[in-house]
Chain A
Amino acid sequence: MSLLLMIALLLPLLGVVLIGGGMRRSRIVALAFALATFAVAAVLAACSPRGGEPFAVTDWAWFGDAATLDIRWSVGLDGLSLWLFALTSLLMVVAVLVSWESIREQTTLYYRLLLVLETGMLGVFVARDIILFYVFFEFTLIPLFFVIGIWGSDQRRRAAMKFFLYTLAGSVLTLLGLLSLVVWTFYHPASGQTAGRLTFSIPELTRSLQARPMDLNVQLWVFWALFAGFAIKSPLFPLHTWLPLAHVEAPAAGSVLLAGVLLKVGVYGFARFSLPMLPEAAWLLMPWLLGIAMVGIIYGALVALAQQDLKRLIAYSSVSHMGFCMLGLFAMNPLSVAGGVLQMVNHGLATGGLFAVVGMLYERYHTRQMADLGGLARRMPWLAMFAMVLTLSSIGVPGLNGFVGEFLILAGTLQRCWTAALSGHATYYHAVGVLGVLGVILGAWYMLNMYRRVFFGPVREPEHVEPPVRDLSPREICCFVPLVVLIVWIGVQPGFFLDRIGMENRGATRGKREVQASFSLGGRDETRIHPSSFDSLMPP
């Protein structure tokens, strides 16, 4: 198993070496390696244990030994990372297929960068060493910077610079936060740990920091330091401004990967570091965090309603949907956390697919303005069908995956906001819960509105396009089929996926329980229901 994981990480790099020649050869090699990586990831996912325990762990010395800095090449999967890992390898296949015809310049470099980016993104999710995580976390910036800057549209240079600098400015502060966790643990080992041992291992740090949390004021500072990087990546409401620009200017594959995978890196950071390692700060800041997430949901939805450009609309819908994921995590209820983790995958499938749809429309019509398009369901029934499924998944229609994620998030959050014995501010919490539900309605509004304007009504196409526009080619259909299959599969059999996320074992919730004890807030707010028992609630 651990060998498989290493193969999955190294396969794209092998592809980088082998890619060469012209456009035809590059794209075939890139597709072959993306597919092979996806196959390996699928095997890993199929063999993963229930309950979300770590597996496929590899642990090698890298930087030094125990006497110096014991930064290790330590990788493995667990419930939190498994589906994101699989999602990344899947979306890379989609990204290569989307670029098939549309990228015609410097193709060799392009596919090389995509595969390098794949290794970077996979690495973020499998790293079990805090520095290794950061290395991959930052490294993803470089290939994407070039992908946006070289193959993007008109304002690509500005978009690439803004994307890189904005995210870098946040993530350097995150680096300080991560280092503080390490240094603190070194000086304040939990009981049972040897003093004077410097560890960078994420599981070890989590254990130590939960057994003996940092002083509260230190926790708060470190929390904000981590917040800087993760919130910009996610992106949370006031820090999202790089996102629409980067999405609009990026080539279709760049948007697919940016929305599908890279936004998750921020949320993943919260789930992996902030919540389990700084439990008291997370608990103390919960009203603020829930508020920020809720504002992001509503704000993103309202701005999306006002957009005329398809890519901008979906970009702002991402702000709104990522707000849901964060709401689920920050509510720190087992249901909502599991929902948040699953919703990350759901959002990657739906939004990644929608960006691919926009890319295909743009290839045909060279416009992304909704005003220029209409009635396309007659011209391209296949595209309309796939776009329908993706839109419905994004809205959260029961039977599709979006519903499962949003339901769990909202159920958990409402439980937190109503029944939890949170001290004071009852009205505030109630408002957060209600407005979160309102976000779902707004989401349906702008998504269906978009679908109606583009695909229904009288046919409207830009004048400069020759009338017979072809429907999806088999290659393009191949790019949607796995997405739709997964969307339906998660929708009808969520237990399979939730079992492997294993929320009972998630650090975030475990940390929170201990926090509750230490804060003696009392009140058992948790209904300990195993997620698979929710299968009965799901529509068939």
Chain B
Amino acid sequence: MNLPSLAPEMIVVAVAAAIFLAGAFWDARRLWGWIAWAALASAALALGFGPAPGLVRWLALGFGWLLVSLAARSAAAESVGSLLVSIAGWMLVARADDLATLFVGLEMVSIPTYVLLALGRRDAEGQESTAKYFFLSVLSSAVLLYGFSFFYGVTGSIELSAIRTAMPTGFEAFDRLAAGLIFAGLCFKITAVPFQFYAPDVYEGNTYPNAALLSVVPKAAGLAAMVKLLVIALPCPGAFVWQMVVAVSILSMTLGNVLALWQENLRRMLAYSSIAQSGYLLIGLAVAMGGVASGRWDGIAAMWFYFITYAAATTGAMAVLEYLGRSDRRLDGIEELAGLGRTRPAAAAVLAVCLLGLTGVPPLAGFWGKLLLFGGALNVAGSAQLWFIALAVVGVLNAAVGAAYYLRVVAVLYFRTPLATPRTEGGRGAWIAAVVCALLTVAIGVWPGPWRAAVGRWSVETKSREAPSSPGVRAEAAVVTDPCEIARDDRMGR
């Protein structure tokens, strides 16, 4: 990896460091947000003209912009700086091609969030949730590193491309141990079951901007790392690996959706929603591992497409709720939104669009994400077929369960008599972020083609660049001749 290709990350981190430093001397709350925007804009320029742009790094800048806008009102220098560092971490994970850089990137995502969470709320509840998050996060990093050590031990390299070529196939015990540890460590980042239990407490105990950050940034970094470690570095994973992903996916969807049904606190509900959404995202990963890579129903492309729709809708929902809050107290209960459709029609419409987008009702963006994921699962042929059909069935049923709690909020917005008009003191930045997210949800929904094409192109390029010897994109007709498929069947004793 050459340094110029890291220019965007370096710009962002340098500005973050400058903000940290300047914040010690000046209290210029209005200024930090603008500086952060400028930093992200110049990073975007550097990325655009740089040697290796990539979709996930663009996403990091785009959502970074939204998150900065969302947090702009309450922006202390430390929180803006931390936000920038974690955005840089997300970009670095997407760019990394060795284990060390990857780990540094992941830690750059994690460590600033400890600061952000501690800054977000200083009462006992907030402190408890931060401590919970901190200890679990450190534990997961340790587990992840332990997994890395096996990669190094078996292949003698930390370069992902070298690991890929040196990786022995049919080494079942290794798959189980190394892939299992890495997956477990990363499941924490994406709040997948059984590493999800911090999320509800942390979201509930903190602010909307921080909850939005937690549901977007670590998830993106975790997914990017999973793709690199489990799909690209592990060309022929044993059946155990994708079965594990399928199981975690089913558990996350079901548990997240079912528990979300009973929540009265908005952030707690959105926390369970983000757990459930991780389950959907993992469908794409499982398809990429268990099925044959295919240009049409590409699991990785479907996963990132779904991620865009999920992140836009979730950030939008959090941003509206932040916007509706008062300067001294944020919105908590679902009941507080009663009758918003009459008192604040625009805000209610934005929130309804975001929630229906998360539900996956056409013609909003979430529908196309789900279509690509389920289509990919149904498209898997061969010995794994039944697993993936079961996965798709559980997935669609969960989409119906999920609709129940998203719609409950929409029903409260429109079908109840208004109690009191919300004060909307959350700041203009939050409102802009919310509107942009809602427009994105509608635009992707009505005209999904270009987005899918961009994600698909990027997925193909990534595979051919990072794994030139890989089976890569094959014609689907070649199902049976896939060497991994045969090796996998042998290992499964068929």
Residues of A within 8 A of B (CB): 61-64, 67-69, 106, 131, 134-136, 138-139, 141-142, 145-146, 149-150, 156-157, 160-161, 164-165, 168-169, 172-173, 175-176, 179-180, 182-183, 186-187, 195-196, 198
- Once the chains bind, are A176 and B407 in contact (CB under 8 Å)? no
Query: From residue B217, how far is it (CB to closest CB) to chain A in Å?
Result: 29
Binds A, one of B86-94, B184-192, B313-321, B448-456: B448-456
> For A173, what are the chain B residues with a Cβ–Cβ distance below 8 Å?
393, 396-397
Residues of B within 8 A of A (CB): 295-297, 341-342, 356, 361-363, 367-368, 371-372, 374-375, 378-379, 381, 392-393, 396-397, 399-400, 403-404, 407-408, 411, 414-416, 448-449, 452-453, 456, 475-477
Given known A-B contacts A172-B397, A173-B396, A160 and B411 have beta carbons under 8 A apart: yes
Interface pairs (27), CB distance under 8 Å: A62-B449, A63-B448, A68-B295, A68-B452, A69-B297, A69-B372, A69-B375, A134-B362, A135-B363, A145-B407, A150-B414, A150-B415, A157-B415, A157-B416, A169-B400, A172-B397, A173-B393, A173-B396, A175-B371, A175-B374, A179-B374, A183-B379, A186-B476, A187-B381, A187-B476, A195-B477, A196-B477
- Once the chains bind, are A135 and B296 in contact (CB under 8 Å)? no
CA distance A448 to B374 in the complex (A): 50
Query: From residue A60, how far is it (CB to closest CB) to chain B in Å?
Result: 11
> For B342, what are the chain A residues with a Cβ–Cβ distance below 8 Å?
106
Given known A-B contacts A138-B367, A179-B374, A67 and B415 have beta carbons under 8 A apart: no
Q: CB-nearest residue of chain B relative to A106? A: B342
> For A145, what are the chain B residues with a Cβ–Cβ distance below 8 Å?
407
CA distance A135 to B365 in the complex (A): 11
Q: CB-nearest residue of chain B relative to A157? A: B415
- Once the chains bind, are B449 and A161 in contact (CB under 8 Å)? no
CA distance A157 to B409 in the complex (A): 12
> For A172, what are the chain B residues with a Cβ–Cβ distance below 8 Å?
396-397, 399-400
Given known A-B contacts A161-B408, A168-B403, A196-B477, A183 and B362 have beta carbons under 8 A apart: no
CA distance A169 to B341 in the complex (A): 26
- In order of increasing CB-CB distance, the 9 nearest A-B pairs are A172-B396, A135-B362, A169-B400, A149-B415, A63-B449, A157-B415, A168-B400, A138-B362, A183-B378
CA distance A141 to B297 in the complex (A): 28
CA distance A298 to B361 in the complex (A): 35
Query: From residue B356, how far is it (CB to closest CB) to chain A in Å?
Result: 7
> For A131, what are the chain B residues with a Cβ–Cβ distance below 8 Å?
371
- Once the chains bind, are A161 and B407 in contact (CB under 8 Å)? yes
> For A138, what are the chain B residues with a Cβ–Cβ distance below 8 Å?
361-362, 367
Query: From residue B37, how far is it (CB to closest CB) to chain A in Å?
Result: 33
> For A68, what are the chain B residues with a Cβ–Cβ distance below 8 Å?
295-296, 452-453, 456
> For B368, what are the chain A residues with a Cβ–Cβ distance below 8 Å?
63
CA distance A247 to B477 in the complex (A): 49
- Once the chains bind, are B452 and A63 in contact (CB under 8 Å)? yes
Given known A-B contacts A164-B403, A176-B392, A157 and B411 have beta carbons under 8 A apart: yes
CA distance A149 to B415 in the complex (A): 6
> For A176, what are the chain B residues with a Cβ–Cβ distance below 8 Å?
374, 378, 392-393, 396
- Once the chains bind, are A142 and B449 in contact (CB under 8 Å)? no
CA distance A196 to B294 in the complex (A): 12
- Once the chains bind, are A142 and B356 in contact (CB under 8 Å)? yes
Among A62, A136, A145, A173, the most chain B Cβ lie within 10 Å of the Cβ of: A145
- Once the chains bind, are B397 and A179 in contact (CB under 8 Å)? no
CA distance A304 to B60 in the complex (A): 59
Among B362, B448, B477, the most chain A Cβ lie within 10 Å of the Cβ of: B362
Among A156, A168, A187, A195, which residue has its beta carbon within 8 angstroms of that of B415? A156
CA distance A330 to B363 in the complex (A): 32
Q: CB-nearest residue of chain A relative to B408? A: A161
> For A183, what are the chain B residues with a Cβ–Cβ distance below 8 Å?
375, 378-379
Among A62, A142, A160, A195, the most chain B Cβ lie within 10 Å of the Cβ of: A142
Q: CB-nearest residue of chain B relative to A142? A: B361
Query: From residue A359, how far is it (CB to closest CB) to chain B in Å?
Result: 20
CA distance A245 to B448 in the complex (A): 36
Q: Apart from A145-B407, A196-B476, what are 4 other A-B pairs with CB-CB below 8 Å?
A: A149-B414, A164-B407, A165-B400, A175-B371
> For B411, what are the chain A residues with a Cβ–Cβ distance below 8 Å?
149, 157, 160-161
CA distance A263 to B175 in the complex (A): 52
CA distance A186 to B408 in the complex (A): 39
> For B415, what are the chain A residues with a Cβ–Cβ distance below 8 Å?
149-150, 156-157, 160
> For A187, what are the chain B residues with a Cβ–Cβ distance below 8 Å?
381, 476
CA distance A145 to B381 in the complex (A): 38
Among A63, A139, A156, which residue has its beta carbon within 8 angstroms of that of B361? A139
Q: CB-nearest residue of chain A relative to B375? A: A179
- Once the chains bind, are A64 and B449 in contact (CB under 8 Å)? yes
Q: CB-nearest residue of chain A relative to B368? A: A63
> For B476, what are the chain A residues with a Cβ–Cβ distance below 8 Å?
186-187, 196
> For B399, what are the chain A residues with a Cβ–Cβ distance below 8 Å?
168, 172
Query: From residue A70, how far is it (CB to closest CB) to chain B in Å?
Result: 9
CA distance A187 to B392 in the complex (A): 19
Query: From residue B335, how far is it (CB to closest CB) to chain A in Å?
Result: 13
CA distance A149 to B412 in the complex (A): 10
Query: From residue A50, how far is it (CB to closest CB) to chain B in Å?
Result: 35
> For A169, what are the chain B residues with a Cβ–Cβ distance below 8 Å?
397, 400
Q: CB-nearest residue of chain B relative to A170? A: B400
Q: CB-nearest residue of chain B relative to A131? A: B371
CA distance A179 to B381 in the complex (A): 14
Query: From residue A175, how far is it (CB to closest CB) to chain B in Å?
Result: 6
Among A106, A139, A161, which residue has its beta carbon within 8 angstroms of that of B362? A139
CA distance A481 to B163 in the complex (A): 77
> For B379, what are the chain A residues with a Cβ–Cβ distance below 8 Å?
183
CA distance A195 to B475 in the complex (A): 11
Q: CB-nearest residue of chain B relative to A137? A: B362
> For A150, what are the chain B residues with a Cβ–Cβ distance below 8 Å?
341, 414-415
Query: From residue A246, how far is it (CB to closest CB) to chain B in Å?
Result: 14
Q: CB-nearest residue of chain B relative to A148? A: B415
CA distance A490 to B104 in the complex (A): 75
CA distance A187 to B297 in the complex (A): 13
> For A63, what are the chain B residues with a Cβ–Cβ distance below 8 Å?
368, 448-449, 452
Query: From residue B392, how far is it (CB to closest CB) to chain A in Å?
Result: 6
> For A196, what are the chain B residues with a Cβ–Cβ distance below 8 Å?
475-477
Query: From residue A148, how far is it (CB to closest CB) to chain B in Å?
Result: 9
> For A157, what are the chain B residues with a Cβ–Cβ distance below 8 Å?
411, 415-416
Query: From residue A169, how far is it (CB to closest CB) to chain B in Å?
Result: 4
Query: From residue A85, how far is it (CB to closest CB) to chain B in Å?
Result: 20
> For B414, what are the chain A residues with a Cβ–Cβ distance below 8 Å?
146, 149-150
Query: From residue B409, how far is it (CB to closest CB) to chain A in Å?
Result: 12
CA distance A179 to B453 in the complex (A): 20
Q: CB-nearest residue of chain B relative to A105? A: B342
> For A182, what are the chain B residues with a Cβ–Cβ distance below 8 Å?
375
Query: From residue B14, how far is it (CB to closest CB) to chain A in Å?
Result: 39
CA distance A168 to B396 in the complex (A): 10
> For A165, what are the chain B residues with a Cβ–Cβ distance below 8 Å?
400, 403-404, 407
> For B371, what are the chain A residues with a Cβ–Cβ distance below 8 Å?
131, 175, 179
CA distance A28 to B369 in the complex (A): 39
> For A168, what are the chain B residues with a Cβ–Cβ distance below 8 Å?
361, 399-400, 403
CA distance A318 to B400 in the complex (A): 26
- Once the chains bind, are A69 and B396 in contact (CB under 8 Å)? no
Q: CB-nearest residue of chain A relative to B479? A: A187
Among B356, B368, B408, B414, the most chain A Cβ lie within 10 Å of the Cβ of: B414
CA distance A186 to B292 in the complex (A): 15
- Once the chains bind, are B393 and A61 in contact (CB under 8 Å)? no
Q: CB-nearest residue of chain B relative to A134? A: B362
> For A67, what are the chain B residues with a Cβ–Cβ distance below 8 Å?
295-296
CA distance A134 to B492 in the complex (A): 38
